Amino acid sequence: MNDSEYMALALAEAQKGVGRTSPNPPVGCVIVRDGEVVGRGFHPKAGEAHAEVFALREAGERARGATAYVTLEPCSHFGRTPPCADALIAAGVARVVVAAGDPNPQVNGRGLQKLRAAGITVETGVLETEAEAQQAGFRSLVTRGRPHVVYKYAMTLDGKVAALNEGNGPVSGPEARARVMAWRNECDAIAVGARTALLDDPQLNVRGLEGGRDPRPVLFDPEGHVPPTARAIREGTVLVLREGRAAPLEGDPRVTVLRAHSLPHALEQLAGLGISTLLLEGGPTLASAFFEAGLIDELRVFVAPKLLGAGLSPLLSPVRSMHAAQGLAVRSVDVLGNDVLIVADGRWQKAEGESSYTDSA
């Protein structure tokens, strides 16, 4: 096995913590000695030990002279736990391979410096893109003070997410819906607009996935229309009101109420709650407000092989020319059952004129 293959194991370790570690990043570590994996670990939850600590604990004396593969630069500062760089040095590790640097200003290269100063061989950038994608929420929190926002939708081959005014069956098939459950399990929060909350009354939970845990529902409900009976109301639900508004839900002890004058303001407050990844699930009105404000970081689009002929589009924003269309970078294309999944990264600039929160419901 080469460095990339061992790093892939470390990323698989990290994956076990995705959605559980915020505001910390998911991190995985694998320790290899003479071609044998002698220790594995991942960061399970903020406040608990880091990945390196678990891996070193398993490796014990075999860590001496070994190579450690870590998906994120080892920390160099005392946080809730002592610095991992120190632990690697103390264990006598000979070489450390790192996927991505830690953008946290308290680390940001200092972890690597510390290791090198102790005579450890350090290599970086192995599976960096994959690691950065896995850590997107953490990196967004640290560098931009807001969550990483993913707009997920399923559309027909003629670009419709729902029929206009008749009964709506699901657009995509069971494999696609299972994938959505996996995403819900991995994100910190799911956002829907008031219209979706009122019309569809979604549960926004994880179903049919062993070991799954529910993300926090975030209801963008500027005017305070969502009733306490909504199925998405549970311990941890966040209600985002326009500034100065009152809502029937305010007395509910399960609900955290935020007031925002704009979407960026709302996202800043969600970051303050430790929400690092936000999955936009509906509807087009809310997504369009995010789109107009340049706040969609990633798209996950299922294209279902059916033709509807007329219906609701994924975005409802004002007309632009094709020249002004926002360009994306395709990250992956996969076939799931009968559906095609396209994942793309946003790379746009902020649109002229910040969208008012007024538009979003």
Candidates 35-43, 83-91, 130-138, 309-317; binding stretch for its own copies (CB under 8 A):
309-317
Tell me whether residue 16 or residue 331 sits nearer to its own copies (CB atom).
331
Interatomic CA distance for residues 62 and 119, integer angstroms: 18
> Which letter does DSSP use for residue 361 in this model?
-
- Establish if 353 lies at the interface with its own copies (CB under 8 A): no
Query: Closer CB to its own copies, residue 251 or residue 309?
Result: 309
User: Which of 280, 103, 268 has its CA nearest to residue 187?
Assistant: 280
311 binds its own copies (CB under 8 A): yes
In the residue annotation, 52 being an active-site residue is answered as yes
Binding site residues for substrate, as ranges?
184, 204, 207, 281
Near its own copies by CB under 8 A: residue from 60, 109, 333, 350: 333
For residue 141, which of 43, 48, 238, 270 has the smallest C-alpha distance?
270
274: tokens are 């430790």
Query: Contact region for its own copies (CB under 8 A) — 35-43, 58-66, 86-94, 334-342?
Result: 334-342
Residues 169-188 that bind its own copies (CB under 8 A): 169-171
- 155 lines the binding site for its own copies (CB under 8 A): yes
Quote the CA–CA distance of 311 and 1 in Å, as a whole number: 51
Query: Residue from 308, 355, 357, 360 that binds its own copies (CB under 8 A)?
Result: 308
3-state SS, residue 351: coil
The piece of 112-120, 160-168, 182-190, 201-209 that touches its own copies (CB under 8 A) is 160-168
Q: Cα–chain-centroid distance for residue 300?
A: 12
- Binding to its own copies by residue 307, rule CB under 8 A? yes
Burial of 253 (0-12, 13-18, 19+ CB in 10 A): exposed
Question: Contact between 326 and its own copies (CB under 8 A)?
Answer: yes
Stretch that binds its own copies, among 25-33, 42-50, 88-96, 314-322 (CB under 8 A): 314-322
**Measured from the CB atom, is 120 or 296 closer to its own copies?**
296
- Residue 15 as a binder of its own copies (CB under 8 A): the answer is no
Q: Contact, 22 vs 45, CB < 8 A? A: no
Instruction: Find the shortest distance in angstroms from Cβ 297 to its own copies.
Output: 13
Contacts of 334 (CB under 8 A, 6+ apart): 340, 341
Return the sign of the alpha-carbon dihedral for residues 137, 141, 144, 145. positive
Applying CB under 8 A, among 10, 89, 98, 162 the residue interacting with its own copies is 162
Q: Is 12 in the site for its own copies (CB under 8 A)?
A: no
List phi, psi (to 5°) of 39. Answer: -160, 140
Q: Which of 122, 313, 354, 359 binds its own copies (CB under 8 A)?
A: 313
Binding its own copies (rule: CB under 8 A), the pick from 61, 208, 210, 335 is: 335
Query: Does 314 participate in binding its own copies (rule CB under 8 A)?
Result: yes
Question: Contacts with its own copies in 115-154 (CB under 8 A)?
Answer: none
52, 73, 186, 298: the active-site residue: 52
Residue 11 vs residues 43, 51, 332, 343: alpha-carbon distances, Å: 11, 11, 18, 19
Contacts 24+ apart (CB under 8 A), 332-337: 336/173, 336/175, 336/176, 336/179, 336/302, 337/172, 337/173, 337/174, 337/175, 337/176
Query: Rounded to the nearest whole angstrom, what is the least distance from the CB of residue 335 to its own copies in the complex?
Result: 6
And the tokens for 88?
Answer: 């690697």
Least Cβ distance, residue 294 to its own copies (angstroms): 11
The answer to whether 361 contacts its own copies (rule: CB under 8 A) is no
Task: Determine which residue in the list 186, 292, 297, 298 makes contact with its own copies, applying CB under 8 A.
Answer: 292
Kindly give, in sequence order, each residue whose CB lies less than 8 Å from that of residue 32, ignoring residues fewer than 6 positions away: 6, 38, 66, 67, 68, 69
* Catalytic residue annotation: 52
- Which residues of this chain interact with its own copies, rule CB under 8 A? 155-160, 162-171, 288, 291-292, 296, 299, 301, 303, 305-311, 313-330, 333, 335, 338, 340, 342, 344
